């Protein structure tokens, strides 16, 4: 696919995020969609007929998510260059963000309960712009900590004004 | 003055009175809302009802006054060489601290009541987004002006000795206290008001014209016409009452626009761009150099008739919800737009900035080096594909779009926060991509859509590189330190020397590129430099 090449900049090897991100996202999706699915099934069994469409739709959604998530996770990549952090994302809707270290205002590391149980975390770089969505989900905890320290150090060394 | 060199002051003691009416009004509104029915049912004579209302007003005022006085007594502000401090709050104490080199704008605002009585509020915006400002209200007008000058001078990196920064016991300063004294007073040098040149002023006629030439007005007029027809045909005035609320809302909006943008004036001075506006409540904003993150020239459809443009800016500190602060000029002609752009971005990075601006505003296709959406995407953007594009110069990026609602955005390279490239499924099939230049929160979100993929990629790489270089060579936050070491400016009491050093960075004369040379090839031929009229002391705000 030559379109892929466009988001692969010259001489850059993207670092993938942890493959554990896929099961984490799937778990969350199953929890979020499982309850409506159950409720829909119960209602459908009681009332029958067209009510079956509700659980069917939810089930379709769940299957779609199960199919999509691994692809999405594989599409996430990041790379630390001398002056910038590059992050790419997306299968259908692709995006590539270039964040200069000097523009960093702060770094945030988050991990929810499901992610923590799998030992991964979410690193987000905040600039003065609300539009720069510089987040890397699904990094192994050690890598997240390293990246956080590295970004902080780089940001301090290259600090620019607004 | 405490150990850290912070001088503490109180805001003026009239503050509780100026604030009390708000509490009273709120209480009164609540009363009317809650009990108007009850009072009506009591079946009392009119005099007694009036008495009740008066009583509520008096009690409300007293409660408001008591509360405001308490708040006033717990509020103090301080100033050091690096920072402004504000301590406030009755139950929940709050201490705010704004570093002067992070200060984005300084506003002197005068609500109607304060304006009548000669008081003003000083608002200092820092880049922390909404709610990160620091408001000192109320101060005597002269004190507020003086403090504004002082803050800007300190933020610029000038050292003024140990000047009494603000009002020393403002209550005793009956107009001419030590704080409000002019520069060179024996009490110690205070920062003089930076010399100022008026650039543009908006006439009421043009403001009214611009409001009349808006879609909203036309729609409302048509709506009213239709309504009148209905009323006449049906002989029933019911519908008129039914639409009362939306009409009132629209009227309030237009009145807000008119009153807010009335008497809009822009001036330039070494400590930044001065913007004054307002009919009843006046605002005088100062935007220090290098604080504008992006500029947008927008033309609503019907303004084409007159060739008018509305100019907005992104400034860190004004969040997206801020509406008045982000307008640099409400209605400008192309020549005026060029002047304003020159104030914000003196060097457009090209030999013929006026031609470039003209092409950016009204041009299409690849004139003046604009790169547009490729032809194959014309069915995606049937109207705008020839207009939609960008032009990269040495100092800024110009992003142009809109065929009917024209818009041009200028982003200086050193103000780009981060960059993004995006592509949806349709764009992917057509080998297109969008490029976004992430700016601080505000009305402008610079991006250019549907570029050829290869072009977008090159733009991304180019911009990354240019932004990096611009970042490294960007001026200091304390803008005076670049041209004048603080020591040189600290011939403290010598206001003339200070003015001379200020004059050094006044826009046109001191810059390497004199505007006269930049005006060559001008087609619309605006005056070579802003119509300069000296305002030795801008007392008109």
Pick the range with the lowest mean pLDDT from A145-159, B399-413, B527-541. Answer: B527-541
Give the minimum alpha-carbon distance from A79 to chain B in angstroms, rounded to a whole number: 15
Is B137 within a domain?
Answer: yes
Quote the Cα angle for B538-B314-B350, to 5°: 90
B419 touches chain A (CB under 8 A): yes
Question: Quick one: pLDDT at residue B46?
Answer: 77
Q: Which residue has the tokens 């006269």?
A: B516
Residue ending a domain, among B453, B473, B493, is B473
Verify whether the Cβ–Cβ distance B474 to A134 is below 8 Å. Answer: no
The interface predicted TM-score (ipTM) is 0.89
Token representation of residue B533: 């009229």
pLDDT tens-digit map of B399-446: 999 999 999 999 999 999 999 999 999 999 999 999 999 998 889 999
B113-139 mean pLDDT? 85
Residues B306 and B159 reside in one and the same domain: no
Judge whether residue A70 has pLDDT over 70: yes
Q: Which of residues 312-351 of B touch A (CB under 8 A)?
A: 316
Question: Quick one: pLDDT at residue A97?
Answer: 94
Judge whether residue B139 has pLDDT over 90: yes
Residues B115 and B158 reside in one and the same domain: yes
In chain A, the percentage of residues whose pLDDT exceeds 70 is 94
Residues B254 and B373 reside in one and the same domain: no
CA dist list (Å): A147 to A139, A156, B48, B232, B509 = 9, 14, 73, 73, 48
B275-296 mean pLDDT? 92
Is B225 within a domain?
Answer: yes
Question: Quick one: pLDDT at residue B110?
Answer: 92
B484-493 mean pLDDT? 34
C-alpha–C-alpha distance, residues B277 and B295, integer Å? 19
Most B CBs within 10 A among A4, A131, A154, hence the mutation to make, goes to A131
Residues B305 and B167 reside in one and the same domain: no
Closest CB to B445: pick one of A94, A97, A131. Answer: A131
Q: Provide the domain limits for residue B222.
A: 203-260
B366-386 mean pLDDT? 91
Q: Where are the alpha helices (DSSP H) in chain A?
A: 2-7, 21-47, 53-75, 113-118, 141-157
B-chain residues within 8 Å CB-CB of A95?
A: 420-423
Residue ending a domain, among B184, B214, B233, is B184
B432 strand-pairing partners: B452
At CB < 8 Å, which residues of chain A contact B?
A: 3, 6-7, 9, 83-84, 92-100, 102-103, 127-134, 160-162
Of A10-19, A86-95, B92-101, highest mean pLDDT:
A86-95
Question: Quick one: pLDDT at residue B480?
Answer: 64
C-alpha–C-alpha distance, residues B486 and B499, integer Å? 14
Is B524 within a domain?
Answer: no
Give all strands of the β-sheet with A94-100 in edge-to-edge order: A15-16, A77-80, A84-89, A94-100, B418-423, B432-438, B447-452
Is B523 within a domain?
Answer: no
Quote the Cα angle for A132-A138-A155, to 5°: 45
Nearest CA in chain A to B461: A9
C-alpha–C-alpha distance, residues B9 and B79, integer Å? 9
B513 Cβ contact partners less than 8 Å away, ≥ 6 residues apart: B346, B347
B36 touches chain A (CB under 8 A): no
B436 touches chain A (CB under 8 A): yes
In chain A, the percentage of residues whose pLDDT exceeds 90 is 69
Question: Quick one: pLDDT at residue B391?
Answer: 95
Q: Which of residues 440-479 of B touch A (CB under 8 A)?
A: 440-441, 445, 453-454, 456-457, 460-461, 464, 467-468, 471-472, 474, 476-477
CB–CB of B319/B130 below 8 Å? Answer: yes
Is B158 within a domain?
Answer: yes
B494-520 mean pLDDT? 34
Residues B232 and B154 reside in one and the same domain: no
Helix (H) or strand (E) holding B385: none
B110-135 mean pLDDT? 85
C-alpha–C-alpha distance, residues B77 and B6, integer Å? 9
Quote the Cα angle for B342-B346-B351, to 5°: 100
Closest CB to A103: pick one of B417, B431, B460. Answer: B417
Residue ending a domain, among B473, B504, B519, is B473
Is B493 within a domain?
Answer: no
B523: left (phi over 0), alpha (psi -120 to 50) or beta: alpha
Is B275 within a domain?
Answer: no
Quick one: B424 exposed, middle or buried, by C-beta within 10 A (0-12, 13-18, 19+)? Answer: middle
Nearest CA in chain B to A7: B457
CB–CB of B279/B263 below 8 Å? Answer: yes
Judge whether residue A88 has pLDDT over 50: yes
Question: Quick one: pLDDT at residue B205?
Answer: 94
DSSP structure class, residue B247: H
CA Rg, chain B, in Å?
27
B134 Cβ contact partners less than 8 Å away, ≥ 6 residues apart: B84, B86, B96, B98, B123, B124, B126
Residue B483's pLDDT band (cuts 50, 70, 90): very low
Verify whether the Cβ–Cβ distance A127 to B431 is below 8 Å. Answer: no
Q: Which residue has the tokens 């070494």?
A: B270
CA dist list (Å): B276 to A89, B96, B538 = 45, 26, 11
Helix (H) or strand (E) holding B526: none
CA dist list (Å): B149 to B177, B200, B266, B484 = 16, 22, 17, 18
Residues B244 and B307 reside in one and the same domain: no
B98 Cβ contact partners less than 8 Å away, ≥ 6 residues apart: B83, B84, B124, B126, B134
In chain B, the percentage of residues whose pLDDT exceeds 90 is 39
More confident residue, B459 or B169: B459
Largest Cα separation within chain A, whole Å, is 66
Closest CB to B460: pick one of A93, A98, A128. Answer: A98
Residues B82 and B154 reside in one and the same domain: yes
Verify whether the Cβ–Cβ distance A129 to B417 is below 8 Å. Answer: yes
Judge whether residue B219 has pLDDT over 60: yes
Tally of domains in chain B:
3
Residues B180 and B208 reside in one and the same domain: no
Q: Tell me the three-class secondary structure of A73-108, residue by residue.
A: HHHCEEEECCCEEEEEECCCCEEEEEEEHHHEEEEE
B265 strand-pairing partners: B201, B276
Question: Quick one: pLDDT at residue A74?
Answer: 93
More confident residue, B376 or A1: B376
B482 three-state secondary structure: helix
pLDDT tens-digit map of B152-202: 988 887 765 544 444 433 333 333 333 333 333 333 456 777 788 899 999
Helix (H) or strand (E) holding B97: strand B94-99
CB–CB of B484/B504 below 8 Å? Answer: yes
Token representation of residue B29: 């509104």
CA dist list (Å): B247 to A75, B231, B244, B266 = 51, 16, 5, 33
Residues B459 and B344 reside in one and the same domain: yes
Residues B61 and B155 reside in one and the same domain: yes
Pick the range with the lowest mean pLDDT from A120-124, B72-76, B502-506. Answer: B502-506
CB–CB of B338/B518 below 8 Å? Answer: no
Residues B385 and B460 reside in one and the same domain: yes
C-alpha–C-alpha distance, residues B327 and B313, integer Å? 6
Question: Quick one: pLDDT at residue B513?
Answer: 34
Other Cβ atoms within 10 Å of B207 Cβ, number: 19
B138 upstream amide cis, omega within 30 of 0:
yes
Of B28-32, B382-386, B476-480, highest mean pLDDT:
B382-386
Residues B179 and B91 reside in one and the same domain: yes
Question: Quick one: pLDDT at residue B508?
Answer: 34
pLDDT tens-digit map of B7-63: 899 999 888 888 887 777 787 788 777 777 776 677 777 788 788 888 888 888 888
Question: Quick one: pLDDT at residue B131?
Answer: 67
Is B482 within a domain?
Answer: no
Question: Quick one: pLDDT at residue A31?
Answer: 92
Residue B458's pLDDT band (cuts 50, 70, 90): very high
Verify whether the Cβ–Cβ distance A100 to B467 is below 8 Å. Answer: yes
B132 touches chain A (CB under 8 A): no
Verify whether the Cβ–Cβ distance A161 to B433 is below 8 Å. Answer: no
């Amino acid at each position: 696919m030559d379109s892929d090449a466009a988001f692969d900049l010259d001489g850059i090897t993207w670092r993938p995020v942890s493959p554990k991100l896929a099961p984490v996202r799937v778990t969350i999706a199953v929890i979020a969609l499982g309850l409506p699915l159950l409720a829909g099934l119960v209602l459908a069994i009681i009332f029958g007929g067209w009510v079956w469409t509700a659980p069917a739709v939810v089930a379709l959604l769940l299957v779609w998510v199960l199919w999509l998530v691994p692809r999405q996770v594989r599409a996430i990549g990041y790379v630390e260059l001398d002056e910038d952090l590059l992050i790419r994302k997306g299968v259908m809707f692709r995006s590539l963000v270039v964040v200069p270290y000097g523009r960093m205002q702060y770094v945030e590391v988050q991990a929810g309960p499901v992610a923590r149980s799998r030992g991964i975390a979410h690193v987000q770089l905040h600039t003065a712009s609300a539009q720069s969505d510089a987040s890397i989900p699904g990094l192994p905890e050690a890598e997240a900590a390293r990246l956080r320290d590295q970004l902080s150090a780089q940001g301090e060394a290259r600090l620019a004004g607004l | 003055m405490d150990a850290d060199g912070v001088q503490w002051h109180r805001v003026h003691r009239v503050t509780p009175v100026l604030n009390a009416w708000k509490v009273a009004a709120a209480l009164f509104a609540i009363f009317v809302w809650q009990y108007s029915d009850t009072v009506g049912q009591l079946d009392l004579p009119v005099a007694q009802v009036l008495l009740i209302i008066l009583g509520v007003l008096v009690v409300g005022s007293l409660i408001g006054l008591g509360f405001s006085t308490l708040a006033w007594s717990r509020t103090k502000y301080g100033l050091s060489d690096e920072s402004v401090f504000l301590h406030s709050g009755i139950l929940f104490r709050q201490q705010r601290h704004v570093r002067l080199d992070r200060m984005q704008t300084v506003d002197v605002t005068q609500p109607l009541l304060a304006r009548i009585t000669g008081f003003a509020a000083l608002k200092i915006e820092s880049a922390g987004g909404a709610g990160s400002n620091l408001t000192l209200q109320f101060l005597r007008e002269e004190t507020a002006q003086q403090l504004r000058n002082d803050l800007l001078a300190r933020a610029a990196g000038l050292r003024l000795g140990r000047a009494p920064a603000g009002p020393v016991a403002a209550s005793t300063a009956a107009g001419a206290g030590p704080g409000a004294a002019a520069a060179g007073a024996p009490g110690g040098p205070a920062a003089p008001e930076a010399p100022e040149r008026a650039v543009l002023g908006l006439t009421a006629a043009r403001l009214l014209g611009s409001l009349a030439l808006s879609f909203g007005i036309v729609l409302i007029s048509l709506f009213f016409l239709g309504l009148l027809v209905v009323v006449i045909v049906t002989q029933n005035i019911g519908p008129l009452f039914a639409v009362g609320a939306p009409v009132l809302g629209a009227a309030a909006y237009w009145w807000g626009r008119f009153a807010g943008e009335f008497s809009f004036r822009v001036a330039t001075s070494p400590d930044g761009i001065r913007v004054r506006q307002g009919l009843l409540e006046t605002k005088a904003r100062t935007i220090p150099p290098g604080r504008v993150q992006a500029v947008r020239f927008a033309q609503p459809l019907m303004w084409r008739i007159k060739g008018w443009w509305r100019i907005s800016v992104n400034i860190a500190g004004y969040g997206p919800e801020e509406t008045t602060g982000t307008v640099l000029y409400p209605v400008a002609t192309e020549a005026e737009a060029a002047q304003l752009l020159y104030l914000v971005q003196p060097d457009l990075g090209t030999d013929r900035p006026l031609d470039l601006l003209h092409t950016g505003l009204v041009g299409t296709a690849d004139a003046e080096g604009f790169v547009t959406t490729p032809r194959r995407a014309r069915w995606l953007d049937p109207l705008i594909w020839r207009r939609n594009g960008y032009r990269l110069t040495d100092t800024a990026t110009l992003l142009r779009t809109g065929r009917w609602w024209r818009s041009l955005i200028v982003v200086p390279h050193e103000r780009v926060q981060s960059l993004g490239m995006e592509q949806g499924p349709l764009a992917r099939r057509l080998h297109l991509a969008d490029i976004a230049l992430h700016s601080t929160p505000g009305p402008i979100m610079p991006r250019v859509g549907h570029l050829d993929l290869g072009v977008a990629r090159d733009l991304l790489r180019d911009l990354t590189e240019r932004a990096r270089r611009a970042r490294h060579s960007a001026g200091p936050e304390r803008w005076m330190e670049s041209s004048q070491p603080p020591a040189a400016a600290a011939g403290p009491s010598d206001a003339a020397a200070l003015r001379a050093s200020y004059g050094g960075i006044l826009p046109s004369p001191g810059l390497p590129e004199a505007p006269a040379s930049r005006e060559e090839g001008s087609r619309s031929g605006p005056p070579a430099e802003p119509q300069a009229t000296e305002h030795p002391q801008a007392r008109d705000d």
